Amino acid sequence: MTQPAAETGSKSLTGIFSTSVKILIPLPGPFSRDPFQTLLSFHIQFRVARYTSPVALFKIVLLAIVQGLTELLPVSSSAHVVVAEKLMGLDPSAPQMTLLLVMLHTGTMFAVIVFFWNTWKQAFFSSRAAFRSFAVQAVWATLLTGVVGEALKMLIEKTYFRGAPKAQIELLFSHLGLIAPALAAAGVLILISGLFGRRRPGPPAVAPHDDSGAGLNLRQSGWMGLVQGLALPFRGFSRSGSTISVGILTGVGKETAERFSFALAVILTPAVDGLELMRLLKAAHAATVAGSPVNLDASLAASFLGAVFSFLAGLAALKWLSSWLESGHWHRFGIYCLVASAGVFYLHARGF
């Protein structure tokens, strides 16, 4: 049952609505003599925030669908969500909306895990050597991602935001003037890798000195980690598009680059979520000290609800979107990014 309710004590929240969901799960085996008579009941209370321009349930579902439909395509799902927020009159740089955006990625990442799990088991967990090779490459690539991402953050804060009090890199999220060129850069990179992949003769190259069957080496995984770091602060510079493209350009087979790219994303998402949660907690504390407390329960619940819907949308979309990545039309995604970049430039010129 959904009921409107008044919310006080926050200038950024105008109200809430709550939904109670009861889930019954049978417990088998040692938990009960009769598993069909023992039920585990969960009562989940969703308190979904509404902002100055109210975020109704259908808006959260819409953002989740946009995320779920664009996550596997190398077209920057985060850029699409940010643009959708802009068109709905929301503020992507607000802490609550930033948390929602990250949680939408989290929901879709769980869909990715479900979808790719069997492939990952065969490629990365088939033997001790395969797992060891994957673990070393994943740690190496993630380390380079962190170094590049943090260096970019410091550089941008000391240049683009010079003089601003406590400059936050999250402010970049709301700038369509930065999203548009990032989309264009990703499009050019995808086009180049697509042409390179089509002209390369014979089967996809397998990395030398790699006896695990994973199909790439430390040099190649390192390049993928470096370019992933470039995607961290810039919405529009597709993480999957850039990492897969760099993999192809360094001689990795497209399917190998795809599965390693999304494995890196699953590794990276919890760390990003943790940083966003810490940022939200600090903002909430500062707002409380200033006398305008932030409703954390509403913010977290809204983000969780969005993650659930993005998970469902991702599962539905992955069945046919994944085939686009494997159909030999990789360069078409680059064309789309260039067209989308022009569209974002137009919206920016119109004042969005």
What pLDDT is stored for residue 305 in this prediction? Answer: 86
**DSSP labels for 145-181?**
HHHHHHHHHHHHHHHTTTTSTT--GGGGGG-HHHHHH
CB atoms under 10 Å from CB of 284, counted, come to 18
User: Domain limits of the chain?
Assistant: 2-23+49-349
pLDDT value of position 151 = 92
Please answer whether residues 103 and 276 qualify as being in contact, where contact means their C-beta atoms are separated by less than 8 angstroms.
no
**What would the two tokens of residue 208 be?**
């030398």
Residue 26 bridge partners (DSSP): 39
Q: What is the pLDDT of residue 83?
A: 86
212 CB-near residues (< 8 Å, 6+ apart):
127, 129, 130, 132, 133, 134
Q: Is 315 left (phi over 0), alpha (psi -120 to 50) or beta?
A: alpha
Contact residues for 273 (Cβ-Cβ < 8 A; gap 6+): 102, 103, 106
CA dist., res. 146 & res. 137, Å (int): 14
Cα dihedral sign, 262-150-70-74: negative
Specify the pLDDT at position 302.
78
> Residues near 39 by Cβ (< 8 Å), separated by ≥ 6?
24, 25, 26, 27
The single-letter code of the amino acid at 216 is L
Residue 334 is predicted with a pLDDT of 93
- What is the longest distance spanned by two Cα atoms in the chain? 67
* Single-letter amino acid code for the residue at 203: P
Q: What is the pLDDT of residue 22?
A: 38
Instruction: Cite the DSSP H helix spans in 200-292.
Output: 218-231, 239-249, 254-289
Average pLDDT by consecutive 10-residue portion of the chain (352 residues)? 38 35 39 39 39 60 87 83 83 72 86 91 89 93 94 82 60 78 95 80 44 72 95 88 94 89 91 78 78 72 86 81 73 93 93 80
State how far Cα 260 lies from the chain centre. 15
d(CA 137, CA 216): 9
Crossing angle between the packed helical segments 95-124 and 296-325, to the nearest 10 degrees: 40
User: Using an 8 Å Cβ cutoff, are 37 and 25 in contact?
Assistant: no
What per-residue confidence (pLDDT) applies to 296? 66
CA 272 to chain centre: 9
Asked whether 259 and 123 are in contact (CB, 8 A), the reply is yes
Quote the tokens at residue 20.
């109670």
Question: In whole angstroms, what is the distance from residue 126 CA to residue 117 CA?
Answer: 12
Residues 6+ apart with CB under 8 A from 181: 236, 341
User: Residue 163 has what pLDDT?
Assistant: 64
Residue reference for tokens 């088991």:
121
Q: What is the pLDDT of residue 68?
A: 85
